[in-house]
């Protein structure tokens, strides 16, 4: 009877843990303000926050008090939260190389417009964004490990006088994925500067990043001055005594195609 009670308690605990883990997926990926208070000055509990988040995500109505508390704790409006939850599916962990202005473990995130940014938390209007112009990954690599388990025993061929030891062994092969080299070529949307970032990615990370938008490289058009302008530039060099009269005449004829 006691054993059955213990088993039942363990099962209830496991179910409760599973439900809690599932509900945690509704928590927005932002820096939660744990000191936030509702309209009545009461501290906002995690359960209350989860309840409001779940309603918003399932398009269920929430009260003004729930909206106030949710925004106070997360800094997000209802629309912001739905945007964040959509973006969460286009987010994965990333460790930038030395070529990046970001240091340490962070997350790479793709916005709805295809631009990416790096941040541990969701940002509605990130200051620094990038375009991916090239992405390459070497593919999955694995480490294989063999593990042998089993037991052995003495088999009596002749009682006491002669014995033969036999074994019942089983070998299991396990594969563990190692991170593989990946290269991102990014374009800073502010400076138009190219940044090359190399890091190690696993298959799950690659599946997300490889689905990001790949942009055409922004190449600034080369300005071609008219022939008259080019002759004026060469004449300025002559006036400054930087070239001779004969050099000016030769360059002028070259520009005019004579």
pLDDT tens readout for residues 200-216: 899 999 999 999 999 98
Closest CA to 93 of 202, 228, 18: 202
Helix (H) or strand (E) holding 18: helix 2-24
Give percent above pLDDT 90 in the chain: 42
| Strand runs labelled E in 179-242 | 180-188, 194-201
Instruction: Tell me the C-alpha distance between 143 and 140, whole Å.
Output: 10
Going by C-beta distance under 8 Å and a sequence separation of 6 or more, which residues neighbour residue 256? 227, 231
SS3 at position 212? coil
Half-sphere exposure of 201 (CA within 13 A, CB side): 27
Q: How confident is the model at residue 166 (pLDDT cuts 50, 70, 90)?
A: low
Which one has a higher pLDDT value, 22 or 229? 229
What are 4-51's pLDDT values in tens digits?
554 544 444 443 434 344 456 788 899 999 899 999 999 999 899 999
* Inter-residue contact 30 to 72 (CB < 8 Å): no
Q: How many angstroms from the chain centroid is the CA of residue 151?
A: 46
Q: How many angstroms from the chain centroid is the CA of residue 29?
A: 13
Closest CA to 128 of 140, 111, 142: 111
* Phi, psi at 64, each rounded to 5°: -65, -35
pLDDT at 148: 76
* Inter-residue contact 105 to 96 (CB < 8 Å): no
The least confident of 30-44, 98-112, 139-153, 211-225 is 211-225
Residues 235, 239, 243, 248: is their CA dihedral positive or negative? positive
pLDDT at 14: 43
pLDDT at 238: 74
Average pLDDT, the chain: 80
* Inter-residue contact 120 to 91 (CB < 8 Å): no
């Amino acid at each position: 009877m006691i054993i059955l009670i213990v088993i039942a308690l363990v099962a209830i605990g496991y179910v409760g843990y599973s439900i809690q883990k599932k509900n945690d997926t509704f928590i927005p990926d932002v820096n939660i303000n744990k000191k936030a208070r509702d309209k009545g000055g009461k501290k906002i509990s995690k359960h209350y926050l989860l309840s409001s988040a779940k309603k918003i995500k399932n398009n269920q109505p929430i009260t003004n008090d729930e909206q106030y508390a949710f925004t106070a704790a997360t800094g997000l409006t209802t629309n912001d939260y739905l945007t964040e939850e959509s973006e969460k599916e286009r987010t994965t962990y990333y460790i930038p190389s030395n070529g990046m202005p970001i240091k340490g473990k962070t997350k790479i995130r793709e916005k709805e417009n295809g631009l990416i940014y790096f941040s541990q938390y969701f940002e509605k209007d990130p200051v620094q964004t990038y375009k991916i112009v090239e992405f390459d990954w070497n593919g999955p690599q694995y480490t294989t490990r063999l593990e042998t388990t089993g037991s052995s025993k003495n088999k009596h061929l002749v009682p006491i006088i002669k014995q033969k030891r036999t074994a019942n062994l089983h070998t299991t092969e396990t594969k563990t994925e190692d991170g593989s080299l990946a290269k991102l070529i990014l374009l800073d949307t502010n400076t138009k500067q190219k940044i090359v970032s190399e890091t190690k990615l696993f298959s799950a990370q690659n599946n997300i990043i490889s689905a990001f938008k790949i942009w055409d490289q922004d190449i600034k058009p080369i300005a071609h001055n008219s022939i008259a302008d080019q002759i004026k530039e060469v004449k300025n060099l002559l006036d400054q005594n930087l070239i001779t009269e004969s050099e000016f005449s030769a360059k002028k004829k070259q520009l005019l195609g004579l």
